Structure 1
């Protein structure tokens, strides 16, 4: 699986509560929050379950911050507590704040939403090609991901390494670790997420203003709306660096150097706190209502919150209309995840930031708990469901354990323990399913049922996933592994070819373009390489499963066989699931720990 930015969906936020806010601030309720409440207990319990070291949140009610609190610690050693002032990287929420800066320049007449950006770019220009003959790249397209520009996300740079300039990033030249930012479809013809587009915007702002990007954003957005802890400075100055949380990867290892550096500041480089991001959300709410406290006019905010394509506004994702209009964004940087979501007219919202990459439903569950705790009217709160468990034995459920393709390029794993079926995410328990029968299991916290149908030999090739009135088959990928042993390799030549292909996919660039044995769609998807395969030394065969006809597809190719290898690399206890086409081409890989 290639490195991608995890785009957390803006989650529905509906309310009929009137907005009575008149200023951006923190209410006295924050200062009086001393005793732990039910929300605190839930957050602490789910952090423990998911082994997330630290979390910070800010809750907005009636246009004011009513709760701002840190939980856990700045790193997994458990020495320094997270406070409401602890800094986290915001990931792609940086785009929302950066968009406000660009729209500020539009209102000042220095930029135009619909002008060819090459008219304003000086240091670097979008290279012309056949896709730009009739349509040009515009700021509106950059902000709404409709320009056709490449490079979805950025992995960042180790703190001790070389840091590229913005121009080197845009051209994909060393020491940049991502490919060149180029147009590869006609602007406006489709939607595709592009952090590269926001990096073009960053350079354009620098060229137009003559200021560094952090200085411009501090002057025009951060300071005016009192985001006093926040900065786009990359790398961080020493006084700010002391206030940060330490990043942790999905396997809960601390990121070397504590965090990565993001010269792609507009796309991913904002250091901030939930309270500061809550102030940003409140400024949007106030501006839309025609109140003081926003850096943008009411008419510009209306444009910002207007769907351009695929529920994407100008820097934020939007959903609903009128009083039910909501805006938000998700964020992921190396070792940090974040979510902001707010009602445009309700005066409600929440910002959640954690110092780990967590691929479970944890952040969404915290949002759900906030909505329930503060009685957000109209919000689809999910409540725990009481289930009566049937008694089943491990022997009855052993065949159900394994990995399945829940969605395209998204796995779910199941493990049976203590008369329960648990989904595993990042090798940690996630969702609990209670047995209703030996083959039917129901979620304890939502309307979801899993039904297995073994064949005459007890073999399982898929399960039925039912949520509400919808149901679909989910194909099996393969088993879980508990201390698996390598087996005799009947095709060592093929294994060597796969090893060469994986090495090329890890590095990307010319290697992935020229190395044989890789499917075409995979070459395009792995141009940036993947960190999952960095440090790979060799592979040893563990398991092979014929999945032909199960409907599994990766990067545009049907998967016929999934081969599991022990991955001998810098990190121990890892395995790589290699997805192969009928012709034996590698079409994807997933690195797992169990």
Structure 2
């Protein structure tokens, strides 16, 4: 039987204009509803920037406003930017299938280590567990330590399972930079940022922090207000989450993406290598709310709509204070990027979905903001312990003497931990190279808890002492969270 005809463009200039005209009101209402302090947005269509505007403030309590050139941390929107960089280094798209060799990087299975490719790691199909290495980053370990210790993690089936891993992608990007005899930042600048005129884009946290016009990261307070309480330095995973940029710069990048690697008449990225990033590499979600499967490409979420049109997207989220979204419809040469300086509240994704929904149907068919807000809230609830460690059970057994628990403990993955007795009473757990210090609160018998911190914090977590070992619930998802006490 004959193949179905290829999809054709369906959106007119007026359709896009209708969606653009709705943006200011929807954004203003969404910012009032969520309280997100600042936002910047760009829309491109037919190789033109048709909307570019900032809203709100860069930092609460100050007067500096957000504009098109305000620098935001873009979190995981870094991934499709980084896959563009890698594509820009290639003469042939088959280079995506080259083995990734990087000193200090190995996986638990030597055969997988010897066969894993750049494409495997950029599409999260290496077999590494979900968010492998992220907890090491939270504890303060550097990139070298993290990549060296990924070899201890259990693997799921190679190229047959999807699990989102920042440090797998980072390893691949670093290997590409090393193969070119340079750093990832210089490779990114020379291959993409400078040729594309992305003058305010960097992969280094220091550049973001030094930019006079940059947006602080904000988290929501219990009373509903927002504060810039944390600083997120993502240098350890720069290719996966460390890019900072502006709406204006990312509009140029979207034009390059939609222009098949050309910008302002100049070829910057080879078309075939870039096109490979847009193809499905693995199923990421077999079922979605739309009923269509979602795939992951090379740094991109890849789907096809009911009309058969390719749709590319990626969100970025720092729980310490940033949320972003980019969505492209290449056949229509249409794209939107939304940058916010608040922890995930659903606003960035809702703006993008509402925009495309309006362009397609003349008006939104769904109330997108509550939907995305509930999805992020659900993810937050899933991460939290099922035990309420803030309230010891009735009749809780008392702890034993402090000396039962104090000492130095070793763990091959998380390194050394110490438990010390405080002069005023109580115990403190120290973890990581810093180290990070966490007061322990007694819960029941030999069970204690502490308040987790960092990008992946989950509230209170349990600490269980037994027979010379200490198991930390929060660190034990991959069964690597047991520490063994050293003999005095």
Q: What does residue 312 of structure 2 align with?
A: 327
Q: 1:82 aligns with which of 45, 48, 66?
A: 66
Distance 1:495 1:284, change over 3 A: farther
Superposition pairs of residues 164-563 of structure 1, within 5 angstroms: 164=142, 166-172=143-149, 184-236=155-207, 240-251=210-221, 252-256=226-230, 258-287=231-260, 292-293=265-266, 295-310=268-283, 311-320=295-304, 324-333=309-318, 334-358=320-344, 360-371=345-356, 375-377=359-361, 381-383=365-367, 411=381, 489-493=394-398, 509-510=414-415, 536-539=438-441
1:539 deviates by 3.8
State the TM-score, normalized to the length of structure 1: 0.58
Q: Is the Cα–Cα contact under 8 Å of residues 72 and 78 in structure 1 kept in the other structure? A: no
1:94 deviates by 1.1
Distance 1:50 1:153, change over 3 A: farther
State the TM-score, normalized to the length of structure 2: 0.69
Distance in 2 of aligned mates of 1:378 and 1:171: 52
Q: What does residue 42 of structure 1 align with?
A: 26
Distance in 2 of aligned mates of 1:95 and 1:116: 19
* Greater share of residues in helix: 2
Q: Is the Cα–Cα contact under 8 Å of residues 100 and 221 in structure 1 kept in the other structure? A: yes
Unaligned runs of at least 5 residues, structure 1: 1-13, 21-28, 173-178, 386-402, 413-425, 427-476, 516-527, 543-562, 590-594
Q: 2:96 aligns with which of 105, 113, 137?
A: 113
1:142 aligns with 2:121: yes
Which structure is richer in relative contact order (CA contacts within 8 A, separation 6 or more)? Answer: 2
List per-residue Cα deviations over 1:195-219 (Å, max 9, x = no partner). Answer: 1112212321232111222111111
Distance 1:577 1:147, change over 3 A: closer
**Counterpart of 2:54 in 1: which secondary structure?**
strand
List per-residue Cα deviations over 1:489-537 (Å, max 9, x = no partner). Answer: 411348999xx8xxx9xxx82579x99xxxxxxxxxxxx99xxxx7642
1:284 deviates by 1.5
| Cα RMSD (Å) | 5.1
1:376 deviates by 3.3
**Counterpart of 2:90 in 1: which secondary structure?**
helix
Distance in 1 of aligned mates of 2:168 and 2:237: 10
**Counterpart of 1:191 in 2: which secondary structure?**
coil
Distance in 1 of aligned mates of 2:136 and 2:201: 19
Distance in 1 of aligned mates of 2:136 and 2:200: 22
Distance in 2 of aligned mates of 1:156 and 1:244: 27
Q: Is the Cα–Cα contact under 8 Å of residues 92 and 273 in structure 2 kept in the other structure? A: no
Distance in 2 of aligned mates of 1:288 and 1:307: 19
Q: Is the Cα–Cα contact under 8 Å of residues 174 and 183 in structure 2 kept in the other structure? A: no
1:567 deviates by 6.2
Q: Is the Cα–Cα contact under 8 Å of residues 105 and 151 in structure 2 kept in the other structure? A: no
Distance in 2 of aligned mates of 1:235 and 1:345: 37
List per-residue Cα deviations over 1:423-455 (Å, max 9, x = no partner). Answer: xxx9xxxxxxxxxxxxxxxxxxxxxxxxxxxxx
Unaligned runs of at least 5 residues, structure 2: 1-7, 284-294, 420-430, 465-470, 476-488
